[in-house]
Amino acid sequence: MLRGSAARRVGGLRANHVSARRNGYGIPTEHVKVSVSGDMDLRGTLGLSKEVPVGFQEIRVQFDIDAPQATAEQMKALREKTEQYCVVMRTLLHPPKINTEWPSS
């Protein structure tokens, strides 16, 4: 894997999808942030090496949940629901069917 400036890192994708007023679970939350980052070897993506796959070799999804008043049981339930309904995580775990169309020559 390439390191440093040649390594590609994707990050900063955030979703504040649970808030104190809208989470529906009665758990007071200050914020929920989802960050996604990944690693890819650009030699594959740029076509410089046929031995290196095109695309990401690793993707990490990190959740930052601030719920200072929540019990351990509430945090467990919130974690389960957050992972269950996180659009980014669910899409990565269960990619949608992709259709491509090319104009006929």
pLDDT for the residue numbered 24? 61
CB 75, CB 82: distance < 8 Å = no
Burial classification of residue 86, based on how many CB atoms lie within 10 Å of its CB (0-12 exposed, 13-18 middle, 19 or more buried): buried
What is the block-wise mean pLDDT of the chain (105 residues), using blocks of 10 residues?
39 40 68 86 94 92 86 86 84 92 90
Please report the pLDDT score of residue 100 as a whole number: 95
pLDDT, position 46: 94
Which structure tokens are listed for 94?
A: 């269960």
Query: Which CATH number belongs to the domain containing residue 14 in this structure?
Result: 3.30.300.20
Residue 27 token pair: 């758990």
Q: Examine residue 17 and state whether it is found in any structural domain, yes or no.
A: yes
37 belongs to a structural domain: yes
- Considering the domain boundaries, does residue 66 fall inside one? yes
**Do the domain assignments include residue 85?**
yes
**Residue range(s) defining the domain that contains residue 87:** 4-93
Specify the pLDDT at position 16: 40
Query: Measured in Å, how far apart are the chain's first and last C-alpha atoms?
Result: 38
How many domains does the structure of the chain reveal? Answer: 1
Residue 96's pLDDT is 95
pLDDT value, residue 52: 93
